[in-house]
Structure 1
Amino acid sequence: MISSSWGAPAAFTKGFNLQHVSDGLYGRHLHVYSWPDGELKQTLDLGNTGLLPLETRFLHDPSKDTGYVGCALTSNLVRFFKTSDGSWSHEVAISVEALKVKNWILPEMPGLITDFLISLDDRYLYFVNWLHGDIRQYNIEDPSKPVLAGQVWVGGLLQKGSDVFYITLDGKESQFDVPAIKGNRLRGGPQMIQLSLDGKRLYVTNSLFSVWDQQFYPDLLQKGSHMLQIDVDTERGGLSVSPDFFVDFGTEPEGPSLAHEMRYPGGDCTSDIWI
């Protein structure tokens, strides 16, 4: 078993504070345990490239001793793997560059990778950038060399109409095009994802944690979350937003509500249950 050390409740339950990172209240380690006895065998220090490690996912193939962890603050996907001597090592597999921005709390904005998953056939990896607002698809047939296969924008702080701009390489202010779905402007950023078992439909919600939602996307608390469907090209790669699927949690009888995790009955791509 490999676990991450993303943060202390005393820190993240109060909202994100960069000082808490300096104070050591957020992690940068992976812990390797023997299973089922639970003995700690090894600790991997991800260093400054692996701040705030969240979900860990192994490849579904039980013969493969490799997987990934999403490191939110540094916005890296780090691959961990067993070496020839039986120990574990790691390397940065995918990096999302922080964007120079205007009208935000910091001069640069990380993507903030908050969730990712691997398709059941181990061909594709998907992850979200909660702050930037995009969902990405990578071909991982070679797990050590992911290749970008699809990308779509479904919200974020940098969409057109926002007060926040990113600065292009030539110094211009710019924003991303985000489609309206069934007449609804997309709010918040993509956060939790779940993939259909055939790999053709990726579902996404947009609430991370209520105090973080309040801090970065206050509209979510007034208007509620939503769920979208992303159509996946499983042959050539590629993502597109389904124009006819929009579940509005702002209209719940006890709402507005904040939508987070999604599960399929009997097992799904993130719970790793084989039916």
Structure 2
Amino acid sequence: MTRWTPDPSFYPSPREAATAPAEKLAYVAAFDRAGQRPDAIAVLDTDPGSDAYGQVVGWTELPFTGDELHHFGWNACSSALCPTAPHPHVERRYLIVPGLRSSRIHVLDTRPDPRQPRLVKVIGPEELAERAGYSRPHTVHCGPDGIYVSALGGADGQEGPGGIAVLDHTSFEVRGAWEADRGPQFLAYDFWWHYNRDVLVTSEWGTPSMIEDGIIGELLLGRRYGHAIHFWDLAKRRHVQRVDLGDQYQMPLELRPAHDPTKTYGFVGVVISVADLSASIWLWHRDGDAWAVTKVIDIPAEPADPADLPDLLKPFGAVPPLVTDIDLSVDDRFLYVSCWGTGELIQYDVSDPFHPVRTGSVRLGGIVARTAHPAYPDEPLSGGPQMVEISRDGRRVYVSNSLYGSWDDQFYPDGVGAWLAKLDVDPERGGLAPDPRFFPRGDDFRGLRVHQTRLQGGDASSDSYCFP
């Protein structure tokens, strides 16, 4: 009799996931802004006992140019243990790596050598367009019934609507568009779900022409970027409700639902308010029979000398926080908010999600401050904490400094560089501090910029759970 054993990196509940072994490797998307060299996945050693700790120990170059690797994810995760999962014996083995500009999707196998992922398949933009009607793939999440990939644009040069494509777990073929009835939704960006409640949530950024060359001032001041989130019936793939945050709150991007599957709340970060350049964090939650969104954190802009600011900001005399990523620890206690403009990563205790409490902060880089890393106090840093990833046990936070090529150029016109920092967390009282031994930068990444990080075995934003 054959006995099947689930992938050991899968856990039925967030509580059990928090007891998982520490990651030994991190995978990092690295891209060439000029589009003249191939992008790559860099592999970092995250084992403190290793002689190569904090160093790039693997490098997988992609076969094309002009991809601009951005977000990526695993083919499978703990959601495979959900009672309704049709593929409970898939493995967390393949990295699904979209090119945001090329619309290609790369499939990399991390076996047998996890330090040298092998390219095993490329899904061309034609297949994504023909089978799903989408372009510009962005965010990847492993669902129990397939691989979900959000997309910002439509097919055949159409601006939209953006939406979600579904890939097969095994063959990686594009099955089609996820939406059966999209209602009023047109703009797309991130998505997540409350799987036990049959709820999917999506957020908004802009169409390809609205983001291709960075922020367009006329569109921002005209309040034309996304400013709403959408709620869907996950089982029926049907739009249920649109909640508008107010058009001054431009670009609600990253979504982070509670990991506890009995909870039906989550956080969304808003990049900027056109009223005062502040950023904000909002909480979605149930309000009777409907969904509601409540602002729970305001982060103000910081005054600055216009002479120190890039052209886009000179008229305002201030540095906006530019909240471009958030991440929630697996135990749902700490929310991390990256303020890419001011160069600050803020930690909040969100045990009471309606009343977050600020518990820690680290500054690195920043448009004006250029705060150095403690390991290299004489080296001013460009960029700021941008993509945030948290270990499953909540003790380590990884941040990278590049946002998106055209935004990098607008806000850091003298160059954004490349660096990735690890921060150590006090899981009991809160607070965080940079690890002086872990700071790959510059030539370590062969001249490429770095964006999202994924941790071997899973991390705080890769998995969803069906048991409390």
Bin of the TM-score, shorter chain as denominator length: 0.7 to 0.9
Verify the 8 A CA contact 1:54 1:72 in the aligned structure 2.
Answer: yes
Verify the 8 A CA contact 1:11 1:25 in the aligned structure 2.
Answer: no
- The one of 12, 17, 22 equivalent to 2:216 is 17
Verify the 8 A CA contact 2:336 2:347 in the aligned structure 1.
Answer: yes
Residue number in structure 2 paired with 1:181: 375
Residue number in structure 2 paired with 1:84: 288
Structure 1 gap ranges (5+): 161-176
Residue number in structure 2 paired with 1:100: 303
TM-score, normalisation: structure 1: 0.86
Q: Supply the AA of the counterpart residue of 1:54.
A: L
Q: Equivalents in 1 of 2:320, 2:376: separation in Å?
A: 30
Which has the bigger relative contact order, CA under 8 A and spacing at least 6?
2
Q: Equivalents in 2 of 1:132, 1:200: separation in Å?
A: 24
SS of match in other structure, 2:337: strand
The CA RMSD over aligned residues, in Å, is 1.9
Q: Equivalents in 2 of 1:266, 1:228: separation in Å?
A: 20
Shift of 1:202: 0.5
Does residue 246 of the first structure (1) align with residue 439 of the second (2)?
yes
Change (3 A) 1:181 1:220: farther
Residue number in structure 2 paired with 1:267: 458
Q: Supply the AA of the counterpart residue of 1:245.
A: F
Residue number in structure 2 paired with 1:151: 361
Partner deviation per Cα, 1:157-189 (whole Å, 9 max, x = no partner): 1316xxxxxxxxxxxxxxxx5444346432211
- The one of 227, 231, 246 equivalent to 1:32 is 231
Change (3 A) 1:135 1:179: same
Residue number in structure 1 paired with 2:412: 217
Does residue 200 of the first structure (1) align with residue 395 of the second (2)?
yes
Residue number in structure 1 paired with 2:341: 131
Partner deviation per Cα, 1:132-174 (whole Å, 9 max, x = no partner): 00000000110100000001101101316xxxxxxxxxxxxxx
Partner deviation per Cα, 1:58-102 (whole Å, 9 max, x = no partner): 0100111100100001310011101222x1001101010112221
- The one of 286, 302, 319 equivalent to 1:109 is 319
Residue number in structure 1 paired with 2:422: 229
Q: Supply the AA of the counterpart residue of 1:124.
A: F
Partner deviation per Cα, 1:16-53 (whole Å, 9 max, x = no partner): 12211244541100011110322110000000453211
Verify the 8 A CA contact 1:49 1:76 in the aligned structure 2.
Answer: no
SS of match in other structure, 1:247: coil
Residue number in structure 2 paired with 1:4: 203
Q: Equivalents in 1 of 2:220, 2:431: separation in Å?
A: 35
Q: Equivalents in 1 of 2:372, 2:443: separation in Å?
A: 20
Higher Rg: 2
Change (3 A) 1:15 1:181: same
Verify the 8 A CA contact 1:188 1:219 in the aligned structure 2.
Answer: no
Q: Equivalents in 1 of 2:252, 2:232: separation in Å?
A: 17
Shift of 1:215: 1.4
Q: Supply the AA of the counterpart residue of 1:238.
A: G
Q: Equivalents in 2 of 1:236, 1:70: separation in Å?
A: 24
SS of match in other structure, 1:244: coil
SS of match in other structure, 1:92: strand
The worse-fitting range, judged by mean Cα deviation, of 180-189 and 92-101 is: 180-189
Change (3 A) 1:217 1:250: farther
SS of match in other structure, 2:408: helix
Q: Supply the AA of the counterpart residue of 2:228.
A: H
Residue number in structure 2 paired with 1:163: none
Q: Equivalents in 2 of 1:138, 1:251: separation in Å?
A: 32
Identical counterparts, % of pairs: 35
Verify the 8 A CA contact 1:267 1:274 in the aligned structure 2.
Answer: no
Shift of 1:3: 0.5
Q: Equivalents in 2 of 1:228, 1:242: separation in Å?
A: 8
